[in-house]
Amino acid sequence: MAQRYNSGLGWADVTPKAGWLNRRHLMMTMGAALAASPALAATGPYSTDEAPNSLEDITSYNNFYEFGFDKTDPAAHAGKLTTSPWAVEVDGLVDRPGSYDLVDLLKGLPVEERIYRFRCVEAWSMVIPWNGVQLSHVLDRVGVQPGAKFVQFTSLARPEEMPGVKAGLLDWPYREGLRMDEAMHPLTLLATGIYGEPMPNQNGAPIRLVVPWKYGFKSAKSLVKITLTDRMPYTTWNALQPKEYGFYANVNPEVDHPRWSQASERRIGAGLFASRVDTQKFNGYGDLVADLYKEQDLARDY
Amino acid sequence: MLRDTIHRGLRPVRPWMVYTLGVLPALLLVIDVFTGNLGVDPVKTIEHRVGEVALQLIVAGLCITPLRRFAGLNLIRFRRQIGVLAFVYATLHLLVWITLDLQFRWSEIGADLVKRPYIIVGFAAFLMLLPLAVTSNNAAIRRMGAAAWQRLHWLTYPAAALAGLHFILLVKAWPAEPLIYMGAILALLGLRLIPRAAPRRMPA
Ligand code: HEM
């Protein structure tokens, strides 16, 4: 399905599919692909050149509480999720509000291939080759009104298909938010796929937010609603534990989470001896985003 | 009667055999390491599994006295082995944390030990188990005297409560598992508060 939103050369073209399943294999084929294919170079200034995690890593270790608390729950239970048809409601301070079919919402927009670092607030990380469109393009399409200062994202909460929603594990639906300048930033993606394939259900099919300089919980999955608003919106984790989860949630080794040190992170995927690496401020995207916060005290606005 | 059947069945079981049983979870982990059965984040899986075994052994240890008192089931001769195993798994858990998880980043280890509530609480539980493990032998009982030894071993109770709290503090939101463990621990401690011989109530 989401295949339809992909255009041009993708990971599928440069990486033999079997290779995705096996990291070592992938690294070998990557070397060849990098040498042979201009398509990868075209991933542009926003992608990292770090080796992405295997599809197996990315699809079997997920925090998606709609399907349960365990990291293996989404892979186990998300198979039942119906992702087609899929509508996204756009409301609030926009010129063209309405319920958009996903295909119409994205039609004609350039599909980007972005290899981003992904850093969870629990101090682990992966490298993920996303496909998707810039959120800014979608917002331009619906026409943001001048009064809009923030964007709220709402995820699907369908108890029949989501055991964690049925069990009431959190205050559903899951909601997240961005300030307008964060939402319009070219790094901010509405992702529809991974490795050139449609978004796996457990990763937030069919469309999810990806904000690579913020902790993973900001990147809401399976979006059904985008709301433009003039005030800082309700966000799920912040409402649950405001001292632990700020609205901004920028990756920042200097600002500790009360529960986990954020100084370093474990890179998932290298097995028993996966190395712990230093966490970078803004997850390494400081060149591109630090300016957004130059007037803010990031220890206060965490 | 079930109780007698159990007693009879356990008669040939020597206390040291509990250690043989206690090696199994570790052995399973080793097998899983070599068969790649630990998922994409084996370090967390190992850390969690040995932590959970330690907690289960602590709960098992707490069951011994109430089982004897309220069910007449006497397993007291296995209690030491259960306690020592709990300590061994807690130690493994701590070592996994230092080596595989934090990978000897001593400044971060030090910072966590003073700043993270769940680490402080877990470490306090571990420190309480330490003197208990060291004195889990007949020589220590003889040297200390039964009364002092018994008093020292009351540390089991705060250690168990802290271990349960450690689990609650380290999860996000409110999953059931840590709450169930904590509930079991508090219930088992609560049973000990029931007075031995119910004092006769004076007619009003
Ligand atoms: C009596 C001592 C202890 C017991 C019984 C215990 C038990 C546990 C249990 C049951 C878990 C969760 C397992 C799961 O999620 O399935 C856990 C996790 C953990 N414990 Fe302990 N623990 C103890 C001491 C310690 C100590 C001394 C440390 C470190 C100084 C420690 C560090 C951790 C860490 C880092 C985690 C994983 C947190 C995460 O998910 O990131 N624990 N422990």
Q: Does position A114 have pLDDT exceeding 50, yes or no? A: yes
Closest residue by CA, ligand 1 atom 16: B48
Q: What is the pLDDT of residues A24-58, one digit of tens each?
A: 344 434 433 333 333 443 357 899 999 999 999 99
What pLDDT is stored for residue B198 in this prediction? 61
Q: What is the mean pLDDT of each run of 10 residues along chain B (204 residues)?
A: 92 94 96 92 95 98 97 96 98 97 95 95 98 97 96 98 97 93 98 82 60
Q: Does position A2 have pLDDT exceeding 90, yes or no? A: no
Among B153, B156, B190, B131, which Cα is nearest to B57's? B156
Among A174, A193, A29, A44, which Cα is nearest to A106's? A193
B111 touches chain A (CB under 8 A): yes
Q: Do A273 and B39 touch (CB under 8 A)?
A: no
What pLDDT is stored for residue A270 in this prediction? 81
Closest residue by CA, ligand 1 atom 43: B51
Distances in whole angstroms, Cα of residue A190 to Cα of each of A112, A186, A204: 10, 11, 11
* Ligand 1 atom at minimal distance to the Cα of residue B170: 38
Interface test with A, best of B32, B33, B40 (most A CBs within 10 A): B40
Residue A128 CA from chain centroid, whole number: 9
Contact B65/B154 with Cβ under 8 angstroms?
no
Does the beta carbon of B126 lie inside 6 Å of ligand 1?
yes
For the entire predicted model, the pTM comes to 0.87
DSSP state of A5: G
Distances in whole angstroms, Cα of residue A141 to Cα of each of A180, A209, B82: 15, 17, 66
- The alpha carbon of residue A23 is apart from the nearest alpha carbon of chain B, in Å, by 11
Q: Does position A23 have pLDDT exceeding 70, yes or no? A: no
Does the beta carbon of B166 lie inside 6 Å of ligand 1?
yes
Report chain A's mean pLDDT, rounded to a whole number.
Answer: 88
What pLDDT is stored for residue B200 in this prediction? 64
Helices (H), chain B: 2-10, 17-35, 42-71, 79-96, 106-115, 117-134, 138-144, 146-153, 156-170, 176-191
Helices (H), A72-178: 73-77, 102-106, 135-142, 163-166
Q: Do A69 and B42 touch (CB under 8 A)?
A: no
Does the beta carbon of B94 lie inside 6 Å of ligand 1?
yes
Closest residue by CA, ligand 1 atom 9: B51
B145 — phi, psi (to 5°)?
90, 145
User: In CATH, what number is assigned to the domain containing residue A30?
Assistant: 3.90.420.10
pLDDT-based confidence at A16, cuts 50/70/90? Answer: very low
Closest residue by CA, ligand 1 atom 25: B122
Strand-strand pairing, A276-278 and A150-155? unpaired
Q: Is residue A298 part of a domain?
A: no
Distances in whole angstroms, Cα of residue A112 to Cα of each of A186, A195, A223, B22, B97: 11, 12, 19, 53, 39
Does the beta carbon of B87 lie inside 6 Å of ligand 1?
no
Q: Is residue A300 part of a domain?
A: no
Q: Which two tokens stand for residue B171?
A: 């999860």
Pocket probe mutation, ligand 1, options B170, B172, B174, B181, max atoms within 8 Å of Cβ? B170
| Residue A219 assigned to a binding site | yes
Q: Which two tokens stand for residue B16?
A: 């040291």
Q: What is the pLDDT of residues A185-226, one digit of tens each?
A: 999 999 999 999 999 999 999 999 999 999 999 999 999 999
pLDDT (average), residues A150-169: 97
**In this complex, how many residue pairs, one in chain A and one in chain B, have their CB atoms less than 8 Å apart?**
62
DSSP state of A62: -
Domain ranges of chain B: 2-191
Split into its structural domains, chain A has a count of: 1
**In this complex, which of B108, B171, B173 lies closest to A240 when CB atoms are compared?**
B173
Whole-number Å distance between alpha carbons of A292 and A297 = 12
Q: In what order do the strands lie in the sheet with A223-229?
A: A98-101, A87-92, A223-229, A150-155, A175-179
| Residue A203 assigned to a binding site | yes
pLDDT-based confidence at A272, cuts 50/70/90? Answer: confident
What H or E segment, with its residue span, contains residue A31? helix A23-36
What pLDDT is stored for residue A37 in this prediction? 36
Contact A197/A13 with Cβ under 8 angstroms?
no
Q: What is the pLDDT of residues A49-76, one digit of tens each?
A: 999 999 999 999 999 999 999 999 999 9
Closest residue by CA, ligand 1 atom 6: B51
Q: Which two tokens stand for residue B177?
A: 């598992």
Whole-number Å distance between alpha carbons of B80 and B19 = 10
Contact A124/B41 with Cβ under 8 angstroms?
yes
Tell me, in angstroms, the distance from the centre of ligand 1 to residue B186's CA.
19
Minimum Cα–Cα distance from B42: chain A residue: A272
In this structure, what is the dihedral angle of CA atoms A171, A174, A178, A180, given to the nearest 10 degrees?
A: -110
Contact A84/A206 with Cβ under 8 angstroms?
yes
Strand-strand pairing, A112-119 and A124-134? antiparallel
**In this complex, which of B101, B171, B173 lies closest to A170 when CB atoms are compared?**
B173
